[in-house]
Amino acid sequence: MKHIYREGAGEDKPVLLLLHGTGGDEESLLELASRIDAEAAVLSVRGNVLENGMPRFFRRISEGVFDEADLAFRTQELHNFLHDASLQYGFARERVVAVGYSNGANIAGSLLFQHEDALQAAILFRPMVPRRGVPLPRLDGLPVFIGAGETDPLIPKAETEELRSLLEGAGAAVTLHWEPAGHQLANTEIDAAAAWVRSLPGPNE
C-alpha cells in the first residue's frame, strides 16, 4: 500500500496510523497528526480503491451502504500491511494508534471488528458502524475515541450511539466526543483527541 513513514521521538511514543477520508491520500492527515502528537511516529496510508478517481479504503454500493465483502477483504489487506510495515520499519504493533477520518475511520473501526490485536487504540472521526450481524473479538479495555458531529448530515446520532454500544459490548473503553459541527472536523475536537492520546498508557504499562 502506498504510504509515508516517519520515525517518532522514541520507542515510548505511539505510531499514528493515518487513514484518510474519501478523496484524500497519504499526505492529507499529516498536519492533523502533528497536532495530535508531534513526537509520535507516523504511518500514513493511501487507500487502494478508487471511486470516480478518488482514493478510498473499500468500495461502497451507494452513500452509506458498504460493500461488505470488499470491506472484509480490504480490512485484512490493511491488517497484513501493518504486520509487514512493523517488520520493515521496526516498530511494535502494540504501539499503533489509528487516526481515521470518515472512510478511514470506517476501515479503522472494521479493524477493531475483525482483529482483537490490530491496534493499541483508535481515534475515529465521523465513523459509521462498519458491519452488522458479526461477532466482535474481545477488545477488553482497548481505548477508542469517537469524534462525532451533532449536525452531521451523513451520520445520524443513532448510528454513532450504536457504534459506541457495539464497541463497549466487546469490552472497549469508548470516549464519545460530541462536537456542535457537521462532517468537517473542528479544532476543539482535535484538541480533545490530543489530550486523550496523552492520557493513554504506554504499551508496557
Q: Is residue 9 within 8 Å of 39, Cβ to Cβ?
A: yes
CA 177 to chain centre: 15
Residue 177: φ, ψ to 5°: -110, 115
Residue 87's SS3 state is: helix
d(CA 2, CA 20): 12
Q: Is residue 40 within 8 Å of 12, Cβ to Cβ?
A: no
For residue 5, which of 107, 88, 75, 98 has the smallest C-alpha distance?
88
C-alpha cell at 66: 458498504
- Helix/strand/coil (H, E, C) string of 93-145? HHHEEEEEECHHHHHHHHHHHHCCCCCCEEEEECCCCCCCCCCCCCCCCCEEE
Residues classed as catalytic: 102, 152, 183
